[in-house]
Structure 1
Amino acid sequence: MSSLNDTPPPPASLAYGRHTWKEVAHLLADLPCALAGFVYAVVTIALGVGLSVTVIGLPLLALGLAGARGMAGAERARARGLLGVHVERPSRLPHRDGFLPWLWAQLKDPVAWRSQLYGFIRLPWGVLTFTVTLVSLIVLWPVLPFVARGLGNVDRAMVRGLLSPSDELERRIAELESDRGVVVDTAAADLRRIERDLHDGAQARLVALAMGLGLAKEKLLDDPEAAAAMVDEAHGEVKLALQELRDLARGIHPAVLTDRGLDAALSAVAARCTVPVKVSVDLPERPAEAIEGIAYFTVSELLQNVSKHARARSAAVDVWRTEERLMLQVRDDGAGGADPAAGSGLAGLGERLGAVDGVLAVDSPAGGPTVVTAELPWRDRDRDRPAAS
């Protein structure tokens, strides 16, 4: 598919303009480029298929297909520079752990096979375009702009048809496969965090509580006053353990979010922030529970960043709906300089939003202010609720 950034040349005319000379240069370069592509395609496929009865045949074929993607990229760049054709780069193959999954992914890559097909059919076309263009430069030079335009348009069609992504479905499948890995990694990290918090916090406190109560039981008859003091201390430990369990449960899914929605839940988060936060939630109805939870934790993490890093005096949170998207925006008047590319938590947050077809945009110039906007798909709450039996 071509991009909206295509720069179509002006109509051909008898005058030799800049676009005409670019097309002529592209057509004259067709023959050497087509010859290189044809030889590469024949050699890699012949070796791979011919040696497929051995252990090196299919790996050679896979490597040849991977290289075909690179040659297709060079052809797209040539067409972009000389013909003004801006074709989107096909999605990268998703990362595969292990040799056999990588091999299978390479062998069934439609982009690479279309690139090899492009190399095959370009040789006769390259011979034709080189010959016609060269003859026109010598004999038919008055009509060369029209000849170059016609041949160039065929080249444009070939590039768009064979070197662009198959369709949007191919791109979305690759994105979703990549996003699935992000979701799995995030879920595993959350489980490890919960396990660590339980082990180091409530579990350790409950073990100490059990030991303290055991000692108090032994002293109950011999030293009632000491036993009473130990029971009183254990009572305090119970309160602390309950508070830690509440905090942990709030980190999984806060009850206020389930019961009262985003407005109340975000107000509670804002109250715990170290700077004053103004919260504005304008939603006609509640989104699906999953989207609501992601929105809550997104704002929670952004406000934690404000507390820890922004050096801000105030912040604001706005939540609203635009058509079928849930919009979140967190602003602060701090020092700015937040950069997702620097490996901060913003990068991980952007990946988690991308896993549900969301988007994160960060505007944080040095000196501030910082504005972080998140966009999530709106999903009706009733659609995600199981039907009554």
Structure 2
Amino acid sequence: MGLSPRRVTHLPHGPAPSRTGRLGPMTADRDPAAPLSAPPSPPAAAPRPRPAYGKETWREIAHLLTNLFTALVGFVYAVVSVALGAGLAVTVIGLPLLALGLGGARGIGRAERARARRLLGVEIAEPSALPRRGGFFGWLWASLKDPVAWRTQLYGLLRLPWGVVTFSVTLVSLIVLWPVLPYVARGFANADRLMVRGLLSPSDELERRIAELESDRGVVVDTAAADLRRIERDLHDGAQARLVALAMGLGLAKEKLLEDPETAAAMVDEAHGEVKLALQELRDLARGIHPAVLTDRGLDAALSSVASRCTVPVKVAVDLAERPAEAIEGIAYFTVSELLQNVSKHARARGASVEVWRSGDRLMLQVRDDGVGGARTDGGTGLAGLGERLGAVDGLLLVDSPAGGPTVITAELPWRARAAGA
């Protein structure tokens, strides 16, 4: 059940999150008697002056002397890949070639970030990977509009004249301008740092967020398709098959009504039982789509109903002054329902509890059991799909299940206030 690490956290040990906080650093609650502010820390020591010919200076010189070679490679690659792809764009292979060239540009950018990290001490996060959904055309479109690759190509074009200048001046300074070499190297290196940060770093958090949302959209589509297939299968194999058998039975009873009334009456009684079973199956199916008790009475009553069907005693505590958005309410209901199913099937617990509360603009859910523990996001208990569904709405899932128990699973969802009149 591997889950994306940005959506699911597995904790082999440790206390559950505080009821008043978001999932994150799980620190103990502050002692009310403790002072509100910490004692002032001693003033930081003044930074030591940088040696003129220290290790940092020599790393900067090495970076500047390798600029010409890397700039030449980047410039030739950018010109050839863009010109070849754009020139053949009128043919069937043009755009795929351009997309492949942009993919290669990402590799050049990765190498340049590593060089800057090693020689200039510039820590730059790696950009988000391209989404891998949509087949060939999805990959083609994502590659052609990839801002990271296009900025790397621009970086390659701009670097050639800059690489010539930095290489030449640094080499001359290394030979005949030795006293000013550290200052020349520092000035050029600072300009390089600005260029790397400006063109090779991710655009901003928005770019990462867009990539996450594109991935989440795919998860939502896949989940909806799977739910539709499940509903279709349940209708075909359950209520529909039973209703077909019921229609055939009533047809036979109609034929025997005059010649054998007793047999016909028995067949009608049997059909009556089949109708009850079909109705129950339809009710269960409807409850699986969206239970009426949730719409009418909210999470407290709906979760109490789910808890009553669990194989172990479950205590339910819902502390909500108002109801969240209908969609969030439904996700919370099905999250608890699936977690309690896991308790019934896998936990071997004697009891469980469900707590629901609001913390700021987040809806918090916590399901706890005293079973054998060992629940993991890769253990086949459905936590992977559950975490993906929560992630699709900007939710989080935290699993704390050491071997031997207890298991505490905490989910966090956005609140998104319920619409007026809902």
- TM (normalized to structure 1)? 0.87
* Percent identical: 82
Matches of 2:226 and 2:143, distance apart in 1? 30
For the aligned residue pairs, the C-alpha RMSD in angstroms reads 2.5
Q: Secondary structure at the match of 1:365?
A: coil
Cross-structure match for 1:202: 239
Of structures 1 and 2, the one with the larger relative CO (CA 8 A, separation 6+) is 2
User: 1:188 offset after TM fit, Å?
Assistant: 1.2
Cross-structure match for 1:225: 262
Cα offsets for 1:73-108 (capped at 9, x unmatched):
222222233333332322333335354443333222
Matched AA of 2:262? E
Q: Secondary structure at the match of 1:376?
A: strand
Select the residue among 151, 155, 160 that pairs with 1:118.
155
Moved over 6 A (4+): none
Select the residue among 190, 203, 216 that pairs with 1:153.
190
Matches of 1:30 and 1:294, distance apart in 2? 53
Matches of 2:61 and 2:48, distance apart in 1? 15
Q: 1:264 to 1:84 in 2, by over 3 A?
A: farther
User: 1:347 offset after TM fit, Å?
Assistant: 1.5
Q: 1:120 to 1:241 in 2, by over 3 A?
A: same
Cα offsets for 1:243-289 (capped at 9, x unmatched):
11111111111111111111111121122122222222211210011
Matches within 5 A, 1:12-91: 13-14=50-51, 16-91=53-128
Asked if the contact 1:14–1:142 (Cα under 8 Å) also holds between the matched residues in 2, the reply is no
User: 1:362 offset after TM fit, Å?
Assistant: 2.3
User: 1:308 offset after TM fit, Å?
Assistant: 1.4
Cross-structure match for 1:241: 278
Matches of 1:61 and 1:307, distance apart in 2? 54
Cα offsets for 1:350-380 (capped at 9, x unmatched):
2111211222222333443332222211111
Select the residue among 163, 166, 179 that pairs with 1:129.
166
* Farther-moved stretch of structure 1 (321-330 vs 228-237): 228-237
User: 1:145 offset after TM fit, Å?
Assistant: 4.7
Matches of 1:248 and 1:215, distance apart in 2? 29
Select the residue among 344, 351, 354 that pairs with 1:307.
344
Matches of 2:405 and 2:120, distance apart in 1? 43
Q: Secondary structure at the match of 1:331?
A: strand
- TM (normalized to structure 2)? 0.81
Matches within 5 A, 1:1-389: 13-14=50-51, 16-138=53-175, 144-341=181-378, 345-382=382-419
Matched AA of 2:334? F
Asked if the contact 2:342–2:381 (Cα under 8 Å) also holds between the matched residues in 1, the reply is no
Q: Structure 2: which 5+ residue stretches go unaligned?
A: 1-46
* Farther-moved stretch of structure 1 (32-41 vs 194-203): 32-41
Matches of 1:294 and 1:358, distance apart in 2? 10
User: 1:118 offset after TM fit, Å?
Assistant: 0.7
Matches of 2:368 and 2:54, distance apart in 1? 51
Cross-structure match for 2:17: none
Report how many aligned residue pairs link the two structures.
376
